[in-house]
């Protein structure tokens, strides 16, 4: 099956063609980072306005890169949630209109299922059951994955997401928006042990996170002690190490508690070099396989949506196609959508 | 000629289809339900007319102004269908559609269309039918469409208030503020008038026929309100 995937949940328009036999055949992402940089953060209305400008040209480019015509598609997968309502709406209405006009099935994909399955696009895909650490600017979660589609939330951040804490701390360090990757770069020349910052909630049981206090501690230290360029690098490195340690400690515990030997780390922060190095050192020794998406698929993209949607469409899960069915009326977007309430795949499908 | 039209710019959600010279329409006042309602509406119209999407010659859509999300629903829908069946799109103003609806139902030839823009503002457009000789007259904009404070709403200069009717949710929402205008002696007002896909179709059809349809990628909403957030520099200046 040839699936067109569309991701529009936040500030990236991502389009991809995924072939359930051959794998990913083309993908393109238009990032709105420059647009939102002026505002110091994502402006939801501007994000939605941009998606509606990008969809048609990006779909055409991606189809052309994949050397297929619209008519050769077998289905469409779009991000139905969670995310910004207006942004989700553009992708969802567009995808469902194309599906209607071409008589193709469509399926609304859970954005986080997309992230979680993104490592399946790589040559050495993870095996299930596993534990997934989903860590981005919007989410920090530990999830038990029994199989594709069967997810159980183990814990999540009770305040800032890890990536959000990165961005806010970076902003205080005077780094450009979005600051996370800039902070990581600055940290490369810093001494991670110079400043002692907390590893929040690691002293208590459970798998929840909290990064707001750590961010504040870093900013307080910054205001009090940081003068030179080296000081700035040291605080960046100390902050990064505290976040990575916290994620690592909780992930280790989750892997042990769930008795799995596979960990998936996905989402924007999973591109962090220091995180990947630390996780490799620790989990290699423990005999735990760690799978990541390739760097460009750590952040939002259409490929992961095309993949997750392709799996669902192949299993026969799709939006109701009879538009006179009242059920069809509810098939729209879900800005808030718990991951553990997804429709289950028929057992023989995967 | 088979033309499909949609409008989701206000509280009303509607779709219309011109096929074999007849227009059929679905219309419902259903705030916040547009994304769910509009595709089933279109689907039913098409089955009723026994058409398949590939037979469409153009998609005409209400390009706004109005609810931001609403105008994007119609735009994305027009883009999706037009891209799929490779036909042009025509964007039509929702304000013109209100005026056209007034003309179609009351034969009033001068209409001040006002849509509630929230934040104590209205979207405004003044319209006049110039030539009724063709029998298929379309309301023409006088001056420009604008988003403004209701206090600033004026009739076009040199016109007589008694010839004008005011219509739309903007009139309803700011009735009190618009009292000066009313006292000038408007011939009437129609408050709960929303744009309808039937009028969108009537307005867009001549544009399509004269080759003004554009590629799906060029289907664009018109919001009128373009300053939706303060940049960091603006915020800092304000706090300074």
pLDDT digits (tens, 9 = 90+) for B38-75: 999 999 999 999 999 999 999 999 999 999 999 999 99
Outline where B118-189 has alpha helix (H).
Answer: 169-173, 179-183
Q: How far apart are CA A280 and CA B120, in angstroms?
A: 57
Does residue B224 belong to any structural domain of this protein? no
Mean pLDDT rounded to a whole number for chain A: 94
pLDDT at position A225? 80
CB B1 within 8 A of CB B182: no
Q: How far apart are CA A15 and CA A74, in angstroms?
A: 15
What domain range includes position B12?
Answer: 2-94+195-218
Domain shared by B88 and B200, yes or no:
yes
Domain end marker among B171, B189, B207: B189
Q: What is the mean pLDDT of residues A22-32?
A: 97
End-to-end Cα separation, chain A, in angstroms: 15
Domain shared by B66 and B176, yes or no:
no
pLDDT at position A227? 79
Pairs of residues, one from chain A and one from chain B, whose beta carbons lie less than 8 Å apart: 109
Verify whether the Cβ–Cβ distance B231 to A45 is below 8 Å: no
Of all residues in chain A, the percent with pLDDT exceeding 70 is 97
Per-residue confidence band for A349, with pLDDT thresholds at 50, 70 and 90: very low
Closest CA–CA distance from residue B85 to any residue of chain A (Å): 7
Verify whether the Cβ–Cβ distance B73 to A93 is below 8 Å: yes
Residues of chain B found within 8 Å of residue A75, distances taken between Cβ atoms: none
Residues of chain B found within 8 Å of residue A102, distances taken between Cβ atoms: 53, 84
Write the DSSP string, A165-219.
HHHHHHHHTTPPSS-HHHHHHHHTTS-TTSS----TTTTSSSS-B--HHHHHHHH
Domain shared by B125 and B170, yes or no:
yes
Give the least confident one: A68-77, B5-14, B125-134, B203-212: B125-134
Does residue B225 belong to any structural domain of this protein? no
The answer to whether B223 faces chain A, any CB pair under 8 Å, is: yes
Domain shared by B137 and B153, yes or no:
yes
Domain shared by B89 and B199, yes or no:
yes
pTM of the model: 0.95
Q: How far apart are CA A39 and CA A191, in angstroms?
A: 32
Does residue B138 belong to any structural domain of this protein? yes
pLDDT at position A350? 43
Q: Which of B32-36, B184-188, B212-216 reaches the highest mean pLDDT?
A: B212-216
What ipTM is given for this predicted complex?
Answer: 0.96
Q: How far apart are CA B18 and CA A279, in angstroms?
A: 62
CB A203 within 8 A of CB A213: no
Instruction: Convert the pLDDT of each residue in A302-323 to its tens digit.
Output: 999 999 999 999 999 999 877 7
Pairing of strands A23-31, A262-266: unpaired
pLDDT at position A244? 98
Domain shared by B74 and B118, yes or no:
no
- What phi-psi label fits residue A81: left (phi over 0), alpha (psi between -120 and 50 degrees) or beta? left
Domain shared by B15 and B84, yes or no:
yes
Domain shared by B160 and B209, yes or no:
no
Closest CA–CA distance from residue B201 to any residue of chain A (Å): 19
Does residue B152 belong to any structural domain of this protein? yes
The answer to whether B68 faces chain A, any CB pair under 8 Å, is: yes
Sign, CA torsion B45/B48/B51/B52 = positive
| CATH number of the CATH domain containing B26 | 3.30.420.40
Does residue B50 belong to any structural domain of this protein? yes
Q: What is the mean pLDDT of residues B121-141?
A: 85
Domain shared by B120 and B131, yes or no:
yes
How buried is A96 (Cβ within 10 angstroms: 0-12 exposed, 13-18 middle, 19+ buried)? buried
Q: How far apart are CA B137 and CA B131, in angstroms?
A: 7
Give the least confident one: A1-15, A69-83, B16-30, B133-147: B133-147
pLDDT at B135 over 70: no
Instruction: Convert the pLDDT of each residue in A246-290 to its tens digit.
Output: 999 999 999 999 999 999 999 999 999 999 999 999 999 999 999
Domain shared by B111 and B185, yes or no:
yes
Closest CA–CA distance from residue A32 to any residue of chain B (Å): 15
User: Measuring CA to CA, which residue among A336, A329, A340, A305 is closest to residue A111?
Assistant: A305
Residues of chain B found within 8 Å of residue A56, distances taken between Cβ atoms: 79, 83, 216-217, 219
pLDDT at position B187? 86
Domain shared by B30 and B140, yes or no:
no
Burial letters B176-189, b for 16+ CB under 10 A, else e: eebeebeeeebeeb
Residue B25 pairs in a beta bridge with B16
Of all residues in chain B, the percent with pLDDT exceeding 90 is 81
CB B135 within 8 A of CB B142: no
Does residue B181 belong to any structural domain of this protein? yes
Tell me if the bond preceding B65 is cis, omega within 30° of 0.
Answer: yes
The answer to whether B67 faces chain A, any CB pair under 8 Å, is: no
Verify whether the Cβ–Cβ distance A323 to B39 is below 8 Å: yes
Domain shared by B201 and B180, yes or no:
no
Locate the chain A residue with the closest alpha carbon to B220: A53
pLDDT at position A330? 58
Residues of chain B found within 8 Å of residue A38, distances taken between Cβ atoms: 231-233
Does residue B135 belong to any structural domain of this protein? yes
Count Cβ atoms below 10 Å from residue A103 Cβ, excluding itself.
11
CB B224 within 8 A of CB B147: yes
Does residue B226 belong to any structural domain of this protein? no
Give the least confident one: A38-42, B132-136, B184-188: B132-136
Verify whether the Cβ–Cβ distance A40 to B232 is below 8 Å: yes
- When divided into structural domains, chain B yields a total of 2
Q: What is the mean pLDDT of residues A292-307?
A: 98
How buried is A74 (Cβ within 10 angstroms: 0-12 exposed, 13-18 middle, 19+ buried)? middle
Of all residues in chain A, the percent with pLDDT exceeding 90 is 89
Instruction: Convert the pLDDT of each residue in B155-181 to its tens digit.
Output: 999 888 899 999 999 988 998 888 888
Residue B23 pairs in a beta bridge with B18
Verify whether the Cβ–Cβ distance A38 to B232 is below 8 Å: yes
Of A46, A91, A97, the CB nearest to B77: A97
pLDDT at position B137? 85
């Amino acid at each position: 099956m040839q699936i067109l995937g569309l991701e529009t949940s936040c500030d990236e328009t991502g389009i991809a063609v995924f072939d359930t036999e051959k794998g990913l055949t083309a993908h393109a992402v238009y990032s709105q980072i420059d647009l939102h940089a002026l505002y110091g953060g994502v402006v939801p209305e501007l994000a939605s306005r941009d998606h509606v400008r990008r969809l048609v040209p990006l779909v055409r480019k991606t189809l052309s890169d994949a050397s297929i015509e619209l008519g050769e598609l077998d289905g469409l997968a779009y991000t139905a949630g969670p995310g910004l309502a207006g942004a989700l709406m553009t992708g969802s209405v567009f995808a469902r209109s194309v599906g209607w006009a071409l008589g193709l099935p469509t399926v609304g994909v859970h954005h986080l299922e997309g992230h979680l399955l993104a490592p399946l696009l790589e040559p050495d895909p993870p095996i299930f059951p596993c534990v997934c650490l989903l860590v981005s600017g919007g989410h920090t979660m530990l999830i038990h994955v029994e199989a594709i589609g069967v997810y159980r939330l183990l814990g999540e951040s009770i305040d800032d997401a890890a990536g959000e804490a990165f961005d806010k701390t970076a902003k205080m360090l005077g780094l450009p928006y979005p600051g996370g990757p800039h902070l990581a770069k600055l940290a490369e020349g810093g001494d991670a042990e110079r400043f002692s910052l907390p590893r929040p909630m690691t002293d208590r049981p459970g798998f929840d996170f909290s990064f707001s206090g750590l961010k504040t501690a870093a900013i307080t230290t910054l205001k009090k002690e940081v003068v030179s360029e080296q000081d700035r690098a040291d605080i960046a490195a100390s902050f990064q190490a505290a976040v990575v340690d916290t994620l690592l400690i909780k992930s280790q515990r989750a892997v042990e508690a769930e008795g799995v030997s596979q960990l998936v780390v996905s989402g924007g922060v999973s591109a962090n070099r220091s995180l990947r190095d630390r996780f490799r050192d620790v989990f290699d020794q423990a005999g735990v396989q760690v799978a990541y998406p390739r760097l460009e698929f750590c952040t939002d993209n259409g490929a992961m949506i095309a993949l997750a949607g392709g799996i669902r469409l192949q299993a026969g899960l799709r939006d109701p196609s009879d538009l006179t069915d009242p059920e069809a009326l509810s098939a729209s977007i879900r800005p808030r959508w718990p991951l553990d309430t997804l429709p289950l795949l028929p057992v023989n499908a995967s | 000629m088979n033309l499909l039209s949609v409008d989701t710019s206000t509280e009303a959600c509607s779709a219309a289809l011109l096929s074999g010279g007849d227009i059929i329409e679905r219309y419902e006042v259903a705030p916040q339900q547009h994304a769910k309602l509009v595709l089933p509406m279109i689907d039913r119209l098409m089955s009723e007319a026994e058409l398949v999407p590939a037979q469409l010659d153009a998609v005409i859509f209400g390009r706004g102004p109005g609810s931001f999300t609403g105008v994007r629903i119609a735009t994305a829908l027009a883009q999706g269908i037009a891209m799929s069946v490779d036909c042009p799109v025509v964007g039509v103003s929702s304000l013109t559609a209100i005026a056209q609806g007034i003309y179609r139902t009351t034969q009033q030839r001068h209409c001040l269309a006002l849509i509630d823009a929230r934040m104590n503002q209205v979207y405004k457009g003044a319209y006049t039918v110039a030539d009724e000789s063709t029998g298929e007259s379309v309301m023409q904009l006088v001056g420009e469409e604008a988003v403004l404070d209701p206090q600033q709403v004026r009739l076009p200069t040199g016109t007589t208030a008694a010839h004008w009717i005011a219509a739309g949710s903007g009139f309803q929402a700011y009735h009190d503020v618009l009292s000066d205008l009313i006292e000038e002696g408007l011939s009437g007002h129609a408050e709960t008038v929303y744009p309808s896909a039937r009028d969108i179709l009537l307005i867009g059809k001549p544009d399509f026929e004269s080759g003004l349809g554009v590629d799906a990628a060029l289907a664009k909403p018109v919001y009128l309100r373009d300053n939706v957030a303060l940049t960091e520099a603006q915020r800092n200046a304000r706090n300074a």
